[in-house]
Amino acid sequence: MSLLDTLKKESEEALGEKPEVATQGTDQELDSGKTEVANAEDVPVPQSFDEDSIPSVVDEIFNTALEKHASDIHFKPKENKFEVFFRIDGTMVEYKLYDKIYHHPIIARIKIISGLKIDEHRLPQDGKSSFQGPGDKEVDLRVSILPTQYGEKVVIRLLEKNPKMVELRDLGMLPNILLKVEKHLKSTYGMILAVGPTGSGKSTSLFSMVSTFDAEDYNISTLEDPIEYKIPDVTQTQINPDIGFDFPDGLRTIVRQDPDIIMVGEIRDQKTASLAIESALTGHLVFSTLHTNSASGTIQRLLNMDIDRFLITAAVKIIISQRLVRKVCSSCREKYPVPAKFHQMLKEEIDITPENAFFYKANGCEKCNNTGYSGRIGIFEVLEMSPAIEELIINSASNTDIEAQAVREGMILLRKDALYKAVTGDITIEEALRVLNS
């Protein structure tokens, strides 16, 4: 019995029915989701199915994903078909719709290359592999398999082996925000925090900041989970909670290694927070991230982690709150006058004459996979510790009061930064609102 026959038989047994072939129905799920369809091609029903073609089918999927800079590939079985999606710049884009007959052979191929059990269909599995694309581009593959009602679903995260670090000045900070951040990078001690929800680009910001230091002149140590970018001459350590090596353990060891600069991937608990603050107050420049929604809300989070008010005011230098949004494709964007319903908002928030301003529409062209978007840019809100803010924190002022004071001292709120970027043509107004309202 050939591999294909075995797989078909297994699939029939697993599903308790014969896999249906050649059904092309409407796709409710796709229509209702936040999915953009671009370049989707329906694959004709195969007259004869050649199992030898499967490795090249899978290679083609990986190659295309690399070419389109996808961060993840989703292999999603449905009742009568099998769909492959890419996540590009945070958005799901349909790549191809396959006949259901491809489901098992493609999943089996993925299992083979990532060292997973081919005959296991009922339990989730996690695996790793790597893939060499054209032009020496190499990615690590993190494979996750989940059994579903229509068979196994696979999601593969693509991690570039040597991703290009984004320069600090290319993150998208307004010139005066950038100056503020650069000023604090000259400090010899204290804490610099990047905060925001998952996927807001916090790690990218930390790396951009840390890589402005000459690693030959400073002892730079990082604790990460996982190591995302490899920086030459920087001591990078992967924490591993499974074997009892967590952020606090790592931090305790790093401070004994005479560091100048410490980067802690994320402050998740009281112990890490307290050790990181202590390190920041004992002559080290500490970079870290926190999962909070605003710059001012970060103070409250640290207080909730039992960090003393005085220590917070003494240690924290700046808090960079951020979001990541899709940049509108500069090749096909189209400007249009700001609609009347936004006039008031623009006048009040960014003090411009809305009648003379423009927004930009995402159209879609070949360069942007017909999505209208290309690459991403950060939206930032940077709170700088000042004597007045220190006083408010010590006097248990509310987040609102702290934020209001920061704004008086020149802090640009996330919302404003997003509106600036909408009128300058970096992003669409829809993208600005989507991120700010979520």
Q: Which is nearer to Zn ion, 94 or 152 (CB)?
A: 94
**Rounded Cα–Cα distance for residues 36 and 34 (Å):** 7
Query: What's the min distance (Å) between Cβ of 363 and Zn ion?
Result: 6
* Contact of 206 with 263, CB cutoff 8 Å: yes
Quick one: DSSP state of residue 182? H
Query: What's the min distance (Å) between Cβ of 324 and Zn ion?
Result: 19
Q: Which is nearer to Zn ion, 279 or 369 (CB)?
A: 369
Query: Residue 142, SS3?
Result: strand
Query: What's the min distance (Å) between Cβ of 326 and Zn ion?
Result: 12
Query: What's the min distance (Å) between Cβ of 364 and Zn ion?
Result: 6
Q: Which is nearer to Zn ion, 88 or 368 (CB)?
A: 368
**Footprint of Zn ion on 355-384 (CB under 5 A):** 365, 367-368
**Rounded Cα–Cα distance for residues 250 and 258 (Å):** 14
**Footprint of Zn ion on 103-162 (CB under 5 A):** none
Contact with Zn ion (CB under 5 A) among 331, 344, 353, 424? 331
Name residue, tokens 């007259």.
Answer: 47
Q: Which is nearer to Zn ion, 170 or 334 (CB)?
A: 334
* Contact of 1 with 59, CB cutoff 8 Å: no
Query: Residue 135, SS3?
Result: helix
Query: What's the min distance (Å) between Cβ of 320 and Zn ion?
Result: 30
Which of 86, 198, 104 has its CA nearest to residue 145?
Answer: 104
Q: Which is nearer to Zn ion, 131 or 360 (CB)?
A: 360
Query: What's the min distance (Å) between Cβ of 372 and Zn ion?
Result: 6
413 phi and psi, to 5 degrees?
Answer: -70, 155
Given phi > 0 = left and psi -120 to 50 = alpha, else beta, which region is 112?
alpha
Quick one: DSSP state of residue 229? S
**Rounded Cα–Cα distance for residues 223 and 236 (Å):** 6
Contact with Zn ion (CB under 5 A) among 332, 350, 423, 429? 332
Q: Which is nearer to Zn ion, 194 or 332 (CB)?
A: 332
Q: Which is nearer to Zn ion, 257 or 331 (CB)?
A: 331
Distances (CA, A) of 255 to 61, 147, 220, 289: 45, 44, 11, 18
Give residues with Cβ within 8 angstroms of 75, minimum separation 6. Answer: 82, 83, 84, 106, 107, 110, 153, 154, 155, 156
Preceding omega of 226 cis (within 30 degrees of 0): yes
Query: What's the min distance (Å) between Cβ of 359 and Zn ion?
Result: 16
Binding-residue pattern over the window 301 to 330 for Zn ion, x denoting contact by CB under 5 A: ----------------------------x-
Q: Which residue in the shown chain puts its C-beta closest to Zn ion?
A: 329
Piece of 79-87, 239-247, 331-339, 407-415 that binds Zn ion (CB under 5 A): 331-339
Number of chain residues interacting with Zn ion (CB under 5 A)? 6
93 binds Zn ion (CB under 5 A): no
Neighbour count for residue 212 (Cβ, 10 Å): 13
Query: What's the min distance (Å) between Cβ of 362 and Zn ion?
Result: 8
Q: Which is nearer to Zn ion, 348 or 366 (CB)?
A: 366
Which of 136, 156, 133 has its CA nearest to residue 59?
Answer: 133
Query: What's the min distance (Å) between Cβ of 328 and Zn ion?
Result: 8
Residues at the interface with Zn ion (CB under 5 A): 329, 331-332, 365, 367-368
